[in-house]
């Protein structure tokens, strides 16, 4: 018997669909439950999976006839409804039309914030932007040096202080440096923090306040980096960071290394926070804008 939970967790949604279709060439009412199991196992989540299946049930009449009996119509409805989840939100980074744009990058430990910052700096520099990085993680050993390596690779400058310094002081100095040098975009690294640590979240709020005093409206973009491989934990992190500081966009790291890309749909459906960037590899160039149509096609393509 086909074990859908283990299968979808191991090989991903598209391949799990392929195996289901091979085992059941004709779609029937029992297939709805199997589809739901696959979607949940791929981290689409209970709420979003239920939304998809409700739409599917309303669109189909049993017993199915003709073309839909062979899954084409089923997959077409799923793609249409999932695309609807991603509709109506801008994927562009928020910019400041009046001058310096400030991007504050947040997230828990180990999700790839510093790596994502380096890739983002490279992406923006390639667009002709003058970019400066701020080493706001003054606690983790090696964090400043790691960011310096990425800054050098991306060909951008960096503002740093000693370890143990208040991150708000680094943010203040970085804003001052940007205004003096005519920088277009300031990207600020922050220490990884568990979303459950109240004192650390308060520190993050302080950094946000200091930035707002230096540049009206800053930070213009609060980008939460989440690790796609963590599945539903990514959704929990997004909820709590959004509650604390108001996340405006998601950067999804390590999407290349996971079979659980459905978490993207869950985040957008439950929080209405746009996924703006996805990391697809280890190289400096492996960061790209999120394309919903391309993503849905890959996710629900059993061929």
pLDDT digits (tens, 9 = 90+) for 134-170: 999 998 889 999 999 999 999 999 999 999 999 999 9
Residues 16 and 150 in one domain: no
Tell me what pLDDT residue 103 has: 98
Whether 9 has a pLDDT exceeding 60, the answer reads no
Whether 118 has a pLDDT exceeding 90, the answer reads yes
Q: Which helix (H) or strand (E) holds 136?
A: none
- Whether the pTM exceeds 0.95: the reply is no
Share of the chain above pLDDT 70, in %: 89
Residues 131 and 32 in one domain: no
Residues 167 and 285 in one domain: yes
The answer to the question of residue 300 being in a domain is: no
3-state secondary structure of 260: coil
Residues 32 and 179 in one domain: no
Mean pLDDT of 254-279: 83
Domain boundary among 42, 59, 85: 85
Asked if 205 contacts 81 with a C-beta cutoff of 8 angstroms, the reply is no
Residues 78 and 124 in one domain: no
Structure tokens at 42: 């791929």
3-state secondary structure of 131: strand
Domain boundary among 59, 85, 111: 85
At how many degrees (to 10) do helices 46-59 and 263-271 cross? 90
The answer to the question of residue 212 being in a domain is: yes
Residues 45 and 145 in one domain: no
Tell me what pLDDT residue 195 has: 55
Range of the domain at 148: 101-290
Residues 159 and 55 in one domain: no
Domain boundary among 85, 114, 135: 85
CA dist 67 → 22, 70, 73, 82, 150 (Å): 16, 6, 7, 21, 52
Asked if 249 contacts 85 with a C-beta cutoff of 8 angstroms, the reply is no
The answer to the question of residue 299 being in a domain is: no
Whether 276 has a pLDDT exceeding 80, the answer reads yes
Residues 54 and 178 in one domain: no
Residues 129 and 276 in one domain: yes
Q: In terms of pLDDT, which residue wins out, 12 or 217?
A: 217
3-state secondary structure of 287: strand
The answer to the question of residue 298 being in a domain is: no
Whether 3 has a pLDDT exceeding 50, the answer reads no
Which residue carries 């299968």 as its tokens?
7
Q: In terms of pLDDT, which residue wins out, 196 or 264?
A: 264
pLDDT in tens, 174-193: 999 999 999 999 999 999 87
What is the pLDDT confidence band of residue 61, given thresholds at 50, 70 and 90? low
Q: In terms of pLDDT, which residue wins out, 213 or 17?
A: 213
Whether 207 has a pLDDT exceeding 90, the answer reads yes
Residues 8 and 120 in one domain: no
Which range has the worst mean pLDDT, 66-75, 176-185, 204-213, 240-249? 66-75
What is the pLDDT confidence band of residue 228, given thresholds at 50, 70 and 90? confident
The answer to the question of residue 297 being in a domain is: no
Whether 7 has a pLDDT exceeding 60, the answer reads no
What is the pLDDT confidence band of residue 67, given thresholds at 50, 70 and 90? very low
The answer to the question of residue 96 being in a domain is: no
The answer to the question of residue 91 being in a domain is: no
Residues 238 and 173 in one domain: yes
Residue 110 burial (CB count, 10 A)? 10
The answer to the question of residue 257 being in a domain is: yes
Total domains in the chain come to 2
Tell me what pLDDT residue 198 has: 74
Mean pLDDT of 70-79: 81
What is the pLDDT confidence band of residue 62, given thresholds at 50, 70 and 90? low
What is the pLDDT confidence band of residue 123, given thresholds at 50, 70 and 90? very high
Q: In terms of pLDDT, which residue wins out, 69 or 230?
A: 230
Q: Is the peptide bond before 63 cis (omega within 30 degrees of 0)?
A: yes
Residues 184 and 133 in one domain: yes
> What is d(CA 73, CA 210) in angstroms, rounded to the nearest whole number?
53
Share of the chain above pLDDT 90, in %: 55
What CATH code is carried by the domain that includes residue 132?
3.40.50.300
């Amino acid at each position: 018997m086909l074990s859908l939970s283990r299968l979808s967790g191991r090989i991903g949604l598209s391949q799990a669909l392929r195996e289901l279709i091979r085992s059941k060439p004709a779609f029937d009412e029992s297939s709805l439950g199997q589809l739901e199991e696959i979607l949940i196992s791929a981290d689409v989540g209970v709420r979003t999976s239920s939304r998809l299946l409700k739409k599917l049930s309303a669109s189909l009449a049993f017993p199915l006839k003709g073309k839909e009996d062979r899954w084409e119509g089923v997959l077409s409805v799923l793609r249409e409804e999932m695309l609807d989840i991603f509709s109506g939100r801008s994927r562009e980074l928020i910019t400041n039309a009046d001058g310096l744009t400030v991007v504050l990058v947040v997230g828990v430990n180990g999700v790839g914030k510093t790596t994502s910052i380096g890739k983002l700096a490279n992406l923006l520099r390639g667009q002709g932007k003058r970019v400066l990085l701020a080493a706001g993680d003054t606690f983790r050993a090696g964090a400043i040096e790691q960011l310096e390596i990425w800054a050098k690779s991306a060909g951008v400058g960096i503002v740093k202080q000693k370890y143990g310094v208040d991150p708000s002081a680094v943010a203040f100095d970085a804003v001052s440096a940007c205004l003096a040098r005519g920088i277009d975009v300031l990207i600020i690294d922050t220490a990884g923090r568990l979303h459950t640590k109240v004192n650390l979240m308060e520190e993050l709020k302080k950094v946000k306040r200091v930035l707002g005093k230096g540049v009206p409206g800053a930070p213009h973009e609060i980008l939460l980096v989440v690790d796609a491989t963590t599945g539903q934990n990514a959704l929990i992190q997004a909820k709590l960071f959004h509650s604390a500081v108001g996340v405006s966009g998601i950067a999804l790291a390590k999407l290349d290394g996971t079979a659980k890309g459905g978490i993207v749909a869950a985040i957008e459906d439950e929080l209405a926070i746009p996924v703006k960037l996805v990391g697809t590899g280890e190289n400096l160039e492996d960061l790209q804008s999120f394309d919903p149509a391309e993503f849905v096609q890959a996710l629900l393509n059993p061929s």
